[in-house]
Amino acid sequence: MNKILKDTMAITLITLVSGLALGVVHDITLEPIRAQEAKAKEEAYKAVFEDADSFESVLETRDDSLEAFLDESGYPRQDINEVMAAKGSDGSDLGYAFTVTTKEGYGGDIQFTMGVQNDGTLNGISILSISETAGLGMRATTEEFQSQFKDRNVEKFEYTKNGATEEDEIDALSGATVTSNAMTNGVNAGLAAFRYENGKGGEAE
């Protein structure tokens, strides 16, 4: 009986010590992880808005009205995770930077940032996380694909398999139609969010 009691106490003590140790490690690593994530996001925003001197938060949590607007606009599987106002060195408003998640990827969610100037010109996109098929959907991370969205001023994009000829067209990734569709709808959702934030949302078509 004494042996059972001792073993139980020993196991309980080990469990408590292990739990405390894990808690301490978690507390120690939490802030560096958060700092690294914030740095990565800042760099991603800077990549899509090079002219911005700083970024100020406009939206950090889910906005039900914005999400409803996206749903009505035809983008129910896209989320706007964060909206930042891009500021010039003199404090002037240059436009917005968005963090967008599209749930239509072949390998799961795809998250990226995009910057839109006040006149609606899309500066470009920068992918934060993606897990598409190597050699196919993962080519969405290439400059060749992402540059198609750079310096365009359109209401929405369409992808084509026959060679883009119009300002609002992009070339689909060969063998990765699902990824091409996910990225196009994600960018279009970001443009819709820009119109919403810029006071141009109105009624969805």
Residue type for 189, please?
A
Asked if the model's pLDDT at residue 171 lies above 60, the reply is yes
- pLDDT recorded at residue 23: 65
111-167 confidence digits (pLDDT tens): 999 999 999 999 999 999 999 999 999 999 999 999 999 999 999 999 999 999 999
CA distance 198 to 106: 32
**Per-residue pLDDT, 71:** 96
pTM over 0.85: no
Mean pLDDT of 54-80: 92
Tell me: pLDDT of 98 over 80.
yes
Measured CA to CA, the distance from residue 156 to residue 6 in angstroms comes to 70
Please report, as a single letter, which amino acid is at residue 194: F
What's residue 201's pLDDT?
Answer: 43
CA-CA distance, 192 to 190, in Å (whole number)? 5
